Structure 1
């Protein structure tokens, strides 16, 4: 006499742990009944019983493992969301070329691998160059601060601006420039797979944040 149907019931991924436990009790009850009423001339195949029991136990363990992994993912996501929320009101520096002009001040951080002569172009949201400046910088990080006054001598409205930086060494060869952005976090977007910080009109992935400081340390 063979036991059937139990393995099929446990193999579906939508069965809850409560249902698994109930099915396991039913399995044991059915097994006990079979042992009591088995035909002495055709006893229960112990190998088949062992295989079904191992299969059932494996499914139960897999469901528990899935529950643990889901709990760990939720915990990690919650920690990431809490971290992102803690940035609201702080000044962050992140990879990117955008920054916010607020009260006549916008700041960018960029880095060069060696001393270079640089040409910095500030562009508005439409891509138009509104300010250009040339100068020389040492190896490493430099901070460019713009007062919001364009090449035409007019003060530009607050908003999102971007920069492009071209660097050349003494021989005139191009030098790689890594551009960053600095601004105050005003909100967080959780709709994607990763929290996104809202810095004015710019959006910065949490993983792109390079540094964070209190707004009282000097403003955006």
Structure 2
């Protein structure tokens, strides 16, 4: 189990570019102001009002540079805090929305869950393989609405034989249903990775999920 490394450049590349440009503009403005003072006509010096106005503009630019630097430090701190929070999930079992489950070993039990959006008289789970063939149907499941009902597939097919390890799809059959349903996979967080500046949880089954998708932590 590990956390993929991430550099500040990967997290703040865009904001650093904007800050660098602002800093360059500040240096350019300062250089022009100094050159203007050095080359002014002693007999017709710069108007005091105009000079004060330019100094005020220079001060505003400087404050913007400092504010952006402070915001960048805050952004980095928040990113580090979020990273540590994600890391605390490593080794924990979580439930996230998914319609596929992974059988890690032949005949090994695997858990999943579902939530009914409306009432139904009966509920069943249909497990199919990668080719769409029905491997197992589990009948008489709970019809409770508004909660995640947990199901454990024993890893056996319809004939009581161990199913091969691999990825399977789960769907529900619901008689007299008044709404849809959502299915959830239950898996262990192996590591945390960063893709495009976003953090993802790598699950033991080989899938990825965001922490915001988690509906249950065990």
**Fold match, TM over 0.5?**
yes
Counterpart check, 1:82 vs 2:84: yes
Matched-pair contact (CA < 8 Å) for 2:124–2:139? yes
- 2:140 counterpart SS class: strand
Task: Report the Cα offset of residue 85 of structure 1.
Answer: 1.9
- What corresponds to 1:203 in structure 2? 208
CA deviations on 1:28-81 (whole Å, 9 max, x unpaired) are: 7975x679x832xx2421222122112211111111222122222222222222
Distance in structure 1 (CA, Å) of the matches to 2:20 and 2:208: 42
| 198 and 162 in structure 1: CA distance in 2 versus 1, 3 angstrom threshold | farther
- What corresponds to 2:190 in structure 1? 186
Matches within 5 A, 1:26-45: 31=37, 38-39=42-43, 42-45=44-47
Matched-pair contact (CA < 8 Å) for 1:110–1:178? yes
| 184 and 160 in structure 1: CA distance in 2 versus 1, 3 angstrom threshold | farther
- What corresponds to 2:75 in structure 1? 73
- What corresponds to 2:135 in structure 1? 130
Moved more, 184-193 or 152-161: 152-161
Unaligned runs of 5+ in 2: 1-18
- 1:150 counterpart SS class: coil
Count of matched residue pairs: 194
Counterpart check, 1:176 vs 2:180: yes
Q: Which is bigger in relative contact order (C-alpha 8 A, separation at least 6)?
A: 2
Counterpart check, 1:147 vs 2:147: no
Matched-pair contact (CA < 8 Å) for 1:96–1:180? yes
- What corresponds to 1:7 in structure 2? none
Matched-pair contact (CA < 8 Å) for 2:119–2:178? no
Unaligned runs of 5+ in 1: 1-10, 214-220
Matched-pair contact (CA < 8 Å) for 1:167–1:177? no
Distance in structure 1 (CA, Å) of the matches to 2:59 and 2:192: 44
Task: Report the Cα offset of residue 12 of structure 1.
Answer: 7.7
TM-score by length of 2: 0.73
Larger radius of gyration: 1
CA deviations on 1:132-174 (whole Å, 9 max, x unpaired) are: 2222422232111101111243212333333112333xxx244
